[in-house]
Structure 1
């Protein structure tokens, strides 16, 4: 489901354009969704050893193969994403209780893709808690009433570059006021002096308590998209079945998604999906049934936007 978006303005980036080497390399290593380490019951494929004196069974061989494949993909990942986000400011928003290690790994891979580190923010569980919605709405009304009507719109204005001018949407002091207010109220957490206005946003989900929270996370991603961001929502395999990824994929807003985000190949897909978003396209990637493909298709040479 790759389509074209408008409105990115003067900060468009060329298409991914990584050539046939990408497809060939990942084709060697990306396994089917039912292979151990790449499906709904797996986190990271681990090496398993048969008891001493017993031959390795089929399950052990498959697990070892999956672990080796993941290691191989991780080894070539920097070359596969090189320059795909060159000089594009990218921020990572991790919605608790999504795995912080996955956020770190995707952040590192984004840097290897040439992205400017625009910071990382943790969205606490309180941010999407219906019981705290009124308190969050009050912060919106107090800090940015003239342009924002929802928490997602407020965060979009605080974090994003304007797609038409490539300038920050709000002044630095206003951005600091918004972020400080949210942190003091327990809605977010971040390190001082690390947050810059961004062009691309990766939202990491996982472990949402119920459909209400998953729905709130998807609406938040839609609000970021409407604010002019290139948005990719990435999460675990199960989120594609009953979580934020499923909610985004069932909508009609051009926000990209990637499932099975704990795996190296999916982290490559996440970085490339963000590059595709910045270039004006979108898609749903991974191994779940509601994904369009495993990875974004590289643009043929000479056809980059």
Structure 2
């Protein structure tokens, strides 16, 4: 089996220092919606300058380089043990080269490992065997500030008048945005999971954030709700970094899960403007990055 440590290191570097084209495009489009001379426009201009500098210097886009979340889609016959070892070796080297800030802190003893390796679950690596001959590794860096304003609701929720339906989902998602204010480093991207149990609901609300901005759910009801939530969130006036303005949310992604009759969970994962996600593919021995 091929050693991909250096290629994974490059994936980490690109993810940490260079936003995907679809994210940068949406941010640049958002500037034109804000008033000249406003705090909102100034915040977006600063964000875009930071994006350019980070890419040019291969330095992290944000000082909080986030929780590394890997999704590995591998062909039959590949060793997940070896792949995970290569990912962890690449992460330690990326930290040594300052592509990543040391983030792994033991929650019990409050000790930073210094290399972003914290037990078996940091970085988080999810494996899925596929029928394809290609290997795909996706990486998302999920910042702590935006993670702190994520929320989970159990419907019905009388505090916001939310019942067990899509109208109730709409109410709790907008409640999450309102409570986040500028603390989630807006403009944000919303990952929403409807259903599941508490654990699977949160996981799926992050997984849906791997999809490209602007793509809609195949279910027309959910696609309509995605568009509506983005539009209504932007009418709240929270704006970039909470400074006010028309750009609070860049996009909304929704996924639906099966649930038990007794439970109706809605999980909201809030992603900050530093929407760091990248993908590498190994096909026929050739490695490409998206």
Which band: TM-score by shorter chain?
Answer: 0.3 to 0.5
TM-score, structure 1 length as denominator?
0.32
TM-score, structure 2 length as denominator?
0.33
The structure with the greater share of residues assigned to strand is 2
